[in-house]
A and B are shown apart, each in its own frame.
Chain A
Amino acid sequence: MTEASLYLLQQIINGLTIGSTYALIAIGYTMVYGIIGMINFAHGEIYMIGSYVSFIVITGLLAMGNIALPVTLFAALLVAMLIAGTYGWSIERVAYRPLRGSNRLIALISAIGMSIFLQNFVALSQGSRDVALAPLISGSVLEFGSLETFAVTISWMQLLIWSVTLVTMTALTLFISRSRMGRACRACAEDLGMTNLLGIDTNRIISLTFIIGAALAAIAGLLLGLYYGVINPYIGFIAGLKAFTAAVLGGIGSIPGAMLGGLILGVAEALTAAYFPSEYKDVVAFGLLVTILLFRPTGILGKPEVEKV
């Protein structure tokens, strides 16, 4: 294989890695939009909080010494999911539920306000500068290609990301399709009013949706925090925008769509960063968003909607 094609393969591998984390965050957007038809503007901030909590737990546990790394990471994961889930639940109760019947713009303003509040909350309590964690997982699992030209590597970190996201998405899919709560979620996404009339407590389901979305975002926060090694209070904004793009790309309201959209976006970004100046990789997300909204607004896996007059 030529060097160019090895390089390309590496970019695709990197892209799939980042993309699967975008997918995790995108699922939160798509589930909330599917059920109450609004964009949770503050979702990106939940991802950011998740990464902060995981850093805190990891650092704390490492300082105590003698705790195995997998245990530390797992503990960080659980705590981050718990706390982020609580944030997700609280945001819905405080900023969204009271505005349930109002018009779109009002709910959007409230969401934006919440997002700004959370960003600055973390900036004030944890400092607005970058927080860096020494790499915990290094080294590569697999290498191929000739070492003189270019070697494609898959690192342990990437393997971790893939396995965690795979397990998470499988668990989520099983939950949505098999469990009773999952069925209720799907019913609510189809027709909230009708589900309510059937006696299901839709408020509970909506809260659950927010909590699940938040927990997934927290997982992404942990993974990306470890991958990049650096976090700050403002990473939620751009991550949120990209994850939303991924959700729309795959078809808003569709969980498999969010997964697909995330992977596509991740690869597109990695390829852009590899062959063009890297500052423009953020522009790729926006370009993809506009393109998909112009030509297939319901997304790749979405169903075309008919306007009811």
Chain B
Amino acid sequence: MRGTLYNAVFSAGITLILACLMLGVRLSAEGTRLTVVGAGADRWEWILAGVAVVFFGQLFSPRLDALFGRIPKPSLGALKPQDSTLKRLKPWLLAALIVGLVIWPFMVSRGAVDLATLTLIYIMLGLGLNIVVGLAGLLDLGYVAFYAVGAYTYALLSEYFGFSFWACLPIAALLAASFGFVLGFPVLRLRGDYLAIVTLGFGEMIRILLNNWTGITGGPNGISGIEKPTLFGLEFSRRAGEDAQTFHEFFGIDYNSGHKVIFLYLIAVLLVCVVIYLINRLMRMPIGRAWEALREDEIACRSLGLNRTVIKLSAFTLGASTAGFAGCFFAARQGFISPESFIFIESAIILAIVVLGGMGSQVGVILAAIVMTILPELAREFSDYRMLMFGLLMVVMMRWRPEGLVPMKRPHLELK
């Protein structure tokens, strides 16, 4: 008992030291002078409450551990029905899902559809980074750079050369892929942690360059007035530009600003489906297996004749191209981009999506992306604390369930 009491007092003391100055007082500026003021009684109540929680938590820690141990870890895998039933139902489920996804936006508000489109963008980004981090095991902290390349490619090509959205999609993907290749070539042989920092630095560097190349990229003001995508040339605006017709005129219906939102949403759905299909195929091809083998044991790969440079580069490049894809769409949806959208925290969020989803598992990543995008919307009142909670969530999840929401399931191969 004495040991735990000592622990409790010690921990409480530590908490007090951590909080007393950083939380307990405030630096505020009165005119040009800096002063220190007490942070107010309610702050101190929080501090004392925190200290008390830590004290009692440590005091009763064995009992609390037992209590928490009994909380079952969420196992979404258990919710899945039997494999055989799943196989029979799969085509029907997929069809129902697709139909649902297409019909749904017509029945809900514009805000909901907009949110769904944002979620779909993060799904794309998550799936792309999943190739790099989840499948190939390469720690990439600068993924947002490729996202930026894709976005700025469309913005610049559309503004200076009048390229259409659909033409820019493959170009953005290709350009992002080449950036991935150029970065990856020298850097992929580095050890895990170093690779993480270097890619982080690269992401920051791209942002700084975008911020300072004011002549081309508009600097901190970014690029605005980006063209929205058209449906075979039909524009979704109230009045068409020259030589063009609007969507509502063509179909003889009234103009509704919601059409544009739904159209963007449907494009996103299409893009995500393409990405999911392509990545699924890749995972079942030799290259996908090679990625995972590389993650498992690089030395064994080398001893079996696999060229690790080529394999790593392919993962990096394909992941980058997916980000380029998503970036192009992002620019089209927003109509305006600036370097502010491509800060490190975005890379961290996408990384969190991959890790929380269960590295390698596509379903897990999709679920995690949905949770990460929708949760902040639901907790609107706490928006100030959003990032704080995000950081805390990352630390907690790594201790509690590092394998993610849906750990990857190995494919069952037929031995014909």
Give residues in A with beta carbon < 8 Å to B.
33, 38-39, 49, 52-53, 55-57, 59-60, 63, 79, 82-83, 86-87, 89-90, 94-95, 98-99, 102, 104-110, 112-122, 124-127, 131-134, 237-238, 241, 244-245, 248, 277, 279-280, 282-283, 285-286, 289-290, 293-294, 297, 309
Contact = CB atoms under 8 A, between A and B. Distances in A.
B204 A241 contact: yes
B401 to A, nearest CB: 11
A285 B200 CA distance: 12
B51 interface: no
B35 interface: yes
B398 A241 contact: no
B193 A108 contact: yes
A113 B392 contact: yes
20 contacts: A39-B193, A52-B27, A53-B21, A56-B21, A56-B36, A86-B14, A86-B17, A99-B402, A106-B355, A110-B395, A117-B392, A120-B385, A126-B26, A132-B34, A134-B33, A241-B201, A279-B208, A280-B208, A289-B197, A293-B194
A131 B395 contact: no
Contacts of B36: 56, 59-60, 63
Given A83-B17, A110-B399, A283-B205, A297 B299 contact: no
Given A108-B196, A116-B391, A293-B190, A98 B208 contact: no
Contacts of B392: 113, 117
B186 A131 contact: no
A38 B139 CA distance: 13
B204 A112 contact: no
Q: Which of A56, A237, A244, A248 has the most CB of B within 10 A?
A: A56
B352 interface: yes
Contacts of A309: 299
6 residue pairs, one from A and one from B, having the closest CB atoms: A113-B394, A117-B391, A116-B391, A286-B201, A120-B388, A110-B398
Contacts of B344: 237
Given A116-B391, A289-B197, 18 more contacts: A39-B197, A49-B22, A56-B25, A56-B27, A94-B395, A98-B399, A110-B394, A113-B352, A116-B345, A120-B391, A131-B27, A132-B29, A248-B194, A286-B198, A286-B204, A293-B194, A294-B186, A309-B299
Contacts of A106: 355, 398, 402
A77 B163 CA distance: 59
B18 A131 contact: no
Interface residues of B, number: 60
B263 interface: no
Contacts of A133: 34
Nearest to A132: B34
Given A241-B200, A279-B208, A126 B22 contact: yes
Contacts of B109: none
A53 B23 CA distance: 11
B404 to A, nearest CB: 10
A31 B54 CA distance: 30
Contacts of A248: 194
A277 B194 CA distance: 28
A56 B24 CA distance: 11
Contact of A59 (B27, B190, B390, B395): B27
B197 A109 contact: no
B196 A39 contact: yes
B254 interface: no
A133 B32 CA distance: 9
B327 to A, nearest CB: 21
A246 B17 CA distance: 31
A57 B24 CA distance: 12
B7 to A, nearest CB: 12
B148 interface: no
B387 interface: yes
Interface in B363-410: 384-385, 387-388, 390-395, 398-399, 402
Contacts of A124: 384-385, 388
Contacts of A95: 395
Interface string B154-169: 0000000000000000
A131 B29 contact: yes
Q: Which of A38, A94, A105 has the most CB of B within 10 A?
A: A105
Contacts of B399: 98-99, 110
Given A86-B18, A126-B22, A289 B201 contact: yes
Given A56-B25, A237-B344, A293 B352 contact: no
B77 interface: no
Contacts of B211: 279
B384 to A, nearest CB: 7
Contacts of A115: 391
Contacts of B22: 49, 52-53, 83, 121-122, 125-126
B223 interface: no
A127 B29 CA distance: 11
B202 interface: yes
B264 interface: no
Nearest to A86: B17
Contact of B198 (A102, A110, A113, A290): A290
